[in-house]
Structure 1
Amino acid sequence: MKKLLTLLSICILALSCQKDSVEIIPNVRFTAEIDLDNPQYTGYSFKAIRDVKGRRIGINGVVICKLTQTEIYAFDLMCTHQHEKTGYFYVDVEPGNDIVTCPECNSEFIISSKYGAVIKGPAKWPLKVYQTSVSNNILRIWN
């Protein structure tokens, strides 16, 4: 009887430990470098699809918001609302703006904060955030 109760307890614990959230944006491992001296990467906000070595950044690029020379945020371009449809939908980046918009669902996200928060739905989740660091004017982005 004790063995049955122990087995039943283990099963209940295993089932209760299931993940209760969905990975909205696929978790892609990468490390990328962007030369901030390149004229296409100057300004307050911009997008980058490939790094200095031609490697893809994130799922299909990132939007970058440069608040200062060392305070830089990077987010995946993929809209978090359209994750269940076939195909991916990417936010539009208007250089110099701190709000990006999904042309498909009209969700808006703010990129001048480290969270990429939704400011207008229907999206419910923020943009996927990537780690950043700057050294010798080379921006390193990774996940």
Structure 2
Amino acid sequence: MKLVATIFCTLFIYMGCISQEISTAEKEQILLQITNLKTAHLNSDAVLADKIYHDNLILTSQSGKKYSKKEALANIKNAFESYENSDISFLNIDTNVILTNYSNKRKFKGLDEGEYRLTVVWKKQETNWVIISMQSSKIKKKNKR
């Protein structure tokens, strides 16, 4: 009987996960917002970034420093020379909350290029997806021998 209960619980949890799949439309909307964020960074466009960041944004940099929306928007003005995203994964957390994780290569003007892993929590607000939390971790380069 315990085995039957375990199997039933496992199936119930599995079915719950399946029902939380992310639709193609949701993925496309978030991918568009990721592209918009790239555009905002490359063009130092705080107005565009303001539309992407939630009012209560928590942004954590690779150094561990926490930024508010106001600080994040001020930092947008530090222009990038390059900014490329890849390896984007999606995870449905809850209704209208999706987590993305992706690799980001970027170069600030006057600094060396770096590669980062971004974990971003998106929340659907009315008809638009906005970032409520973002954390960036620098990816260390492997030494070639």
The verdict on a shared fold, with TM-score over 0.5 as the criterion, is: no
The structure having more radius of gyration, on CA atoms, is: 1
Pick the structure with more helix per residue. Answer: 2
Which has a greater percent of strand?
A: 2
- Per the shorter chain, which TM-score range? under 0.3
